[in-house]
Structure 1
Amino acid sequence: MKICIIAEGSYPYVTGGVSSWIQTIVTNMQDHEFIIYSIGAEKKAKGKFKYQLPPNINFVEEVFLDDFTEEENKWGRDYKLTAKEKKALKSLLDSRQPDWNTLLSMFSGERIDSAVNFLKSKDFFDIVHEICLEKYEQVPFTDMFWSMRSMVLPLFICIKHPLPEADLYHSVSTGYAGVLGSLGKYMYQKPFLLTEHGIYTREREEEIIKAQWVKGFFKDLWIQYFYNMSTCAYDTADKVISLFQKNMEIQEELGCASSKISIIPNGVNFEDYQQLPARNSFNENGINIGAIVRVVPIKDIKTMIQSFAIVKQELQDAKFFILGPTDEDEEYYQECIRLVENLMIEDVIFTGEVNVRDYINQMDVLVLSSISEGQPLVLLEGMACGKPFVATDVGNCKGILLGESDDLGQAGIIVPVMQYVEMARAIILLCKDDRKRKKMGNIGRERAANFYTKKSFIDQYKQLYKDMVDRIWQE
């Protein structure tokens, strides 16, 4: 079977999270061939993979959202759109539910030669002008035109980029990846599977609300635009996978048919974390606090650092290890370094990218301070190793640590997002109570072994792939 995995902003350019999940899928299904269709933000990342690709990946098809040139040809070309095509494009631009089949047909064919040329066309100009006259008379036309152009350009770039043929399309988010999964089904009449780790639309909505580059009511346009793309994926997908109950309920609220949705939680290879090196010279007589995390804003490293400043006042023998790559957002990493210096904290160690299993058993307490998550693999890794967590109340963190379908008890402490004082109190509580740490660690180990194994996770996806492709052959 040849499977095309469509990823946006993740594999194979960054490590951890969704990228680790994809690597796990591919390396544990050697009897299948894979194509990776990877959507990146900037073409300077081309070919700079962070993973050793397994041999069953045939190739990686790369498309970048900034990969366009402003051609020299004149503005004002007429593509002679039909009334149905104009209506579909207009609905995409003015926040109504678009006719995605018509849009996919328009842009996957040969008539529209390039995304940039189309956005210089008389057709696009006239549709934006019509929307302005109907709904935005008080807005300068040039502002509206360039805003709408920048909004849809990345989508049209993705649709115009060649999509390889496969037996099954598997998008690991909605958004651009979800539309491309829908395109694969439309073009080749092959099954389309969607897995959502977090809720893409909610994450984009948060970003747009905070963004400085989107002004006023344009925020509403952008937010609805991303919701429209997610609706395309939900409506087109044959099956939709959520990682946990709460996200499944949100998918239903956003319009995904409940009959399509199943839950397949993440999993870890429990045995990998049972024979790790014993505690050694990292900080033999003190307390080690660790965070397995990429140093990027969404992980909110600054809250961790501020909490450790409080911890250090009470526990002078404590050390804080930030275990993960620092090169994904160099500016943010430098901000974190300056915060450590300004707070005059000692014993904060940025290790850079490391083999987690070389460090995880050296930690007494693990911390996660993210402002957005799905079902973090790092929680499962820590639990498999018997380590208690202090984690923010995002995604499925509460469900994992406190239990969703068992009465085993707490495997950690949940704290509010961005509340470094409460995070510090929880860390101090665990650091001072060896008995509580061990009890929570044992509960976490038992929960991971019973409910979050890699074998179960892989077996379910193998069966799902087989069932979806077999159903097409039967039809």
Structure 2
Amino acid sequence: MKVLFYFGVFARIGGIEEFTKDLASVLCAHGMDVSIVCASLKSPILDEMERVGVKVKRIPFCWGCRWNLPDFVLFPFALYQLRKADVVVHQKPFKNWFYKLFSRKPKHVYITAYRPGEQFRDAGILKDFFSRFDHIFTQATLFKGDLRRAGVNCSVSVLPYTPPQGISFSPLPFKGNGVLRIAMMGRVEPQKNPVYAIEIVEGLFHQLKQSGTGVEFHVYGSGTLLEEAKVLADQQGVTVSFHGAYQRKDVPSIVAENDCFLISSVSEGQCIVALEVLAGGRPLFATAVGALPDILCTPARGALIPQGNSKEAVSVIQEWLEENQPISPESILESYKEDYDRETVANQYADIFRDLVGKV
């Protein structure tokens, strides 16, 4: 079976790029002939894909991304490649006329980590776009409900991005001399709402010091709100360490070094960081956006916190910590694997691809 990822511009670093590498590698391991067509300069992620057998077909063209110019340059080259595929995987929306020129011979699959309404504000456009595909992968039951309410009737699967493999750690009390290390990983941008995260940590600091427990907040990542976050941390008088940008290979050690993690986002899609945290046996406290309600559906993994109410968020976190001492990575990991076992999810993707083209 020939599977083609039609990607557009492929960034050097990015969650969707990492997922593409993971899924393409899974399909190669299941004996499929996998290719990717994209616009990209030198990319370490594409290099890794080539090493596992993915055929990378790219144009070295990224200039003009703001106007989607690489998509237009890539399109004639991609049309030829599409005709040779059995399944074409799409992960970003293109212009309507692009799809009218696509060959209908292969099966067309769309994978989205976002709620449909976040990409398409108009319900009519949403239905028209998603109805072009033979199968849609979403990452949360909420997203599937959005599609059905919009009148999209093609087959839809709710599957996470290929999850990271679980890593077993020993039981974890607060580290050091009664110090809770709470961490945040990701871009320091308005979407991630780091200011709200600092407000929550400041509230935890005052609540937990009554019982003799200190609080440290560790921020991994960089972005446009970094300086504002540093100023706010100084004003609040809490201990915040800003570690700067990190690489994916650093994630296991970051998770191991901290007691629990906080996601304060105002919007999210799949949120692979949540799975990385749980795969490392650490609890997660997160706002109820994107796929996070699905991910935190089991109390053993952590808890959902309200948006815009730091006092209530502090109460939720403090109550969970009090009820789950010492924190047990084994319990978190066991719960995580019930829904996010990497091999199980990989097999589900492969089976759906085979079913689409009628091959065993």
Superposition TM-score, scaled by structure 1 size: 0.62
Deviation at 1:265, TM superposition (A): 3.3
Identity %: 14
Q: Tell me how far apart the structure 2 counterparts of residues 53 and 177 of structure 1 sit (CA, whole Å).
A: 30
Q: Tell me how far apart the structure 1 counterparts of residues 337 and 278 of structure 2 sit (CA, whole Å).
A: 9
Please tell me whether the aligned partners of residues 266 and 452 of structure 1 are also in contact (alpha carbons under 8 angstroms): no
Q: Tell me how far apart the structure 1 counterparts of residues 319 and 143 of structure 2 sit (CA, whole Å).
A: 31
Deviation readout 1:30-86 (Å, 9 max, x if unpaired): 3434333447xxxxx844556653222322536658359xxxxxxxxxxxxxxxxxx
Structure 2 match to 1:13: 12
Deviation at 1:278, TM superposition (A): 8.3
Deviation at 1:425, TM superposition (A): 3.2
Q: Tell me how far apart the structure 1 counterparts of residues 74 and 46 of structure 2 sit (CA, whole Å).
A: 26
Amino acid at match of 1:57: V
Structure 2 match to 1:411: 301
Deviation at 1:390, TM superposition (A): 0.9
How do residues 173-322 of structure 1 correspond to structure 2 at under 5 angstroms? 173=92, 175-176=93-94, 182=99, 186-187=102-103, 189-200=105-116, 202-204=117-119, 223-224=121-122, 228=125, 230-257=126-153, 259-270=154-165, 272-274=166-168, 276=169, 283=176, 285-315=178-208, 317-322=214-219
- Return 5+ residue gaps in structure 2 as ranges: none
Q: Tell me how far apart the structure 2 counterparts of residues 291 and 60 of structure 1 sit (CA, whole Å).
A: 36
Partner secondary structure for residue 200 of structure 2: helix
Deviation at 1:377, TM superposition (A): 2.6
Asked if residue 345 in structure 1 is aligned to residue 255 in structure 2, the reply is no
Q: Tell me how far apart the structure 1 counterparts of residues 344 and 8 of structure 2 sit (CA, whole Å).
A: 25
Q: Tell me how far apart the structure 2 counterparts of residues 52 and 159 of structure 1 sit (CA, whole Å).
A: 20
Structure ID, larger Rg? 1
Pick from 152, 157, 162 the counterpart of residue 72 of structure 2: 157
Structure 2 match to 1:106: none
Structure 1 match to 2:259: 364
Q: Tell me how far apart the structure 2 counterparts of residues 158 and 314 of structure 1 sit (CA, whole Å).
A: 57
Q: Tell me how far apart the structure 1 counterparts of residues 274 and 164 of structure 2 sit (CA, whole Å).
A: 13
Please tell me whether the aligned partners of residues 251 and 276 of structure 2 are also in contact (alpha carbons under 8 angstroms): no
Structure 2 match to 1:134: none
Pick from 171, 174, 182 the counterpart of residue 90 of structure 2: 171
Pick from 49, 53, 59 the counterpart of residue 54 of structure 1: 49
Shift in alpha-carbon separation, 1:304–1:322, aligned structure 2, 3 A = same
Q: Which has the higher strand share?
A: 2
Please tell me whether the aligned partners of residues 262 and 285 of structure 2 are also in contact (alpha carbons under 8 angstroms): yes
Deviation readout 1:333-375 (Å, 9 max, x if unpaired): 3333333344443233334204111121232221111222233
Deviation readout 1:197-237 (Å, 9 max, x if unpaired): 2124x2246xxxxxxxxxxxxxxxxx43x962x43442221
Please tell me whether the aligned partners of residues 7 and 172 of structure 1 are also in contact (alpha carbons under 8 angstroms): yes
Shift in alpha-carbon separation, 1:353–1:458, aligned structure 2, 3 A = same
Deviation at 1:320, TM superposition (A): 1.4
Structure 1 match to 2:315: 425
Structure 2 match to 1:35: 35
Structure 2 match to 1:125: none
Q: Tell me how far apart the structure 2 counterparts of residues 389 and 320 of structure 1 sit (CA, whole Å).
A: 14
- Return 5+ residue gaps in structure 1 as ranges: 40-44, 69-149, 206-222, 404-408
Deviation at 1:273, TM superposition (A): 0.8
Partner secondary structure for residue 72 of structure 2: helix
Please tell me whether the aligned partners of residues 25 and 49 of structure 2 are also in contact (alpha carbons under 8 angstroms): yes
Amino acid at match of 2:195: K
Amino acid at match of 2:349: Y
Amino acid at match of 2:185: I
Please tell me whether the aligned partners of residues 4 and 34 of structure 1 are also in contact (alpha carbons under 8 angstroms): yes
Structure 2 match to 1:449: 337
Once superposed, what is the RMSD of the aligned Cα atoms? 3.7
Shift in alpha-carbon separation, 1:346–1:450, aligned structure 2, 3 A = closer
Deviation at 1:469, TM superposition (A): 3.3
Amino acid at match of 1:460: Q
Structure 1 stretches of 4+ moved >4 Å: 48-52, 62-65, 153-156, 158-161, 177-180, 276-285
Deviation at 1:179, TM superposition (A): 7.5
Shift in alpha-carbon separation, 1:300–1:177, aligned structure 2, 3 A = farther
RCO greater where, 1 or 2, for CA within 8 Å and sep 6 or more? 2
Q: Tell me how far apart the structure 1 counterparts of residues 97 and 138 of structure 2 sit (CA, whole Å).
A: 18
Shift in alpha-carbon separation, 1:435–1:461, aligned structure 2, 3 A = closer
How do residues 92-131 of structure 1 correspond to structure 2 at under 5 angstroms? none
Q: Tell me how far apart the structure 2 counterparts of residues 465 and 303 of structure 1 sit (CA, whole Å).
A: 41
Deviation at 1:426, TM superposition (A): 2.9
Please tell me whether the aligned partners of residues 8 and 74 of structure 2 are also in contact (alpha carbons under 8 angstroms): no
Amino acid at match of 1:22: T
Please tell me whether the aligned partners of residues 89 and 110 of structure 2 are also in contact (alpha carbons under 8 angstroms): yes
Deviation at 1:436, TM superposition (A): 5.0
Q: Tell me how far apart the structure 1 counterparts of residues 96 and 260 of structure 2 sit (CA, whole Å).
A: 37
Shift in alpha-carbon separation, 1:289–1:452, aligned structure 2, 3 A = same
Amino acid at match of 2:228: E
Q: Tell me how far apart the structure 2 counterparts of residues 179 and 363 of structure 1 sit (CA, whole Å).
A: 49
Deviation readout 1:410-449 (Å, 9 max, x if unpaired): 5322122243333333334445x2635637x655323222
Amino acid at match of 1:370: S
